[in-house]
Amino acid sequence: MLFQLGTLGFSIKHINLTHSPPHSPSTHLPLSPSTHSPINNTMVHILHLDASPRGARSVSRTLAKEFITGWKEVCSTGTVTYRDLGHSHIPFVSEDWIAAVFSDPAQHTPEQAEAIRISDELVDEFLAADRYVFSIPMYNFGIPANFKAYVDQIVRVGRTFSVDDDGYKGLVKDKKMVIITARGGTYPEGTPFYDYDMQAPYLRLIFGFMGITDIEMIHADNLMGGDDAKATAITKAQSEVESVIARW
């Protein structure tokens, strides 16, 4: 079933996300270090971020958790920082924030310094990671407002991008990213619904703008298409989780 585009009246029936995945993580992610990427992963540091406000019922959150669990099985010495955007508040940019990011820190008023304090923390955390596992639901064909607030806090001139006479340059280099999305509908190429997907293109664009081009996307689509469609979508996404771990 395609998402109800005409009415935006997606009746969010209670999707049973507390069901057991078809396989337990230990059996459906049977990866060994020998199957893992040749890159030396021993010191890899992941920033794992969930954006869904739902808990155990969230498909994106559940898949990201499975990714991290599977990845830890093949990279036991790697480290993970976790940020739960779905259950915390990221402030919107303000006038003080804007004034602060475009001025000399030595000249900041106390209000301006406070306005970018959280942004500084988020940027530090973002830059400290080598890899990113972000889970993001589709809301209204795009990203949830909490994730947009996060993006607005980390897209910072002089920190994650620069600008000069040659134009914009991303400053976040040599990183890898996995984005796991969950969507009620499906947006296949070649259908009229393809253009409604403002989520995946935007995410590629904004992280590419900051310099991150190695981005793998795993979509759990059609989650409102009925129980069978949902189960099929989750199984497919779980299989993609396994493949990405194997080559990451």
Ligand X SMILES: Cc1cc2nc3c(=O)[nH]c(=O)nc-3n(C[C@H](O)[C@H](O)[C@H](O)COP(=O)(O)O)c2cc1C
Q: Which residues contribute to the site for ligand X (CB under 6 A)?
A: 3, 10, 12, 52, 54, 58-61, 137-141, 182-185, 223
**Which of 209, 145, 143 lies closest to 179, judged by CA?**
143
Of 29 and 182, the one with the shorter C-beta distance to ligand X is: 182
Closest contact distance (angstroms) between CB of 203 and ligand X is 14
Quick check: 49 and 15 in contact, CB under 8 A? no
Least separation in angstroms between CB 147 and ligand X: 12
Q: Which is nearer to ligand X, 58 or 146 (CB)?
A: 58
Specify the residue for token string 């954006």. Answer: 51
Of 100 and 218, which has the nearer Cβ to ligand X?
A: 218
The least CB distance from residue 26 to ligand X, in Å, is: 23
Cβ 28 to ligand X shortest distance, Å: 19
Cα separation, 165 vs 35, in Å, equals 45
Nearer to ligand X, 123 or 136 (CB): 136
Helices 145-154 + 110-128 axis angle, to 10: 100
**Parallel, antiparallel or unpaired: strands 176-182 and 131-137:** parallel
Name residues whose C-beta falls within 8 Å of residue 56's C-beta, 6 or more positions apart in sequence: 17, 18, 62
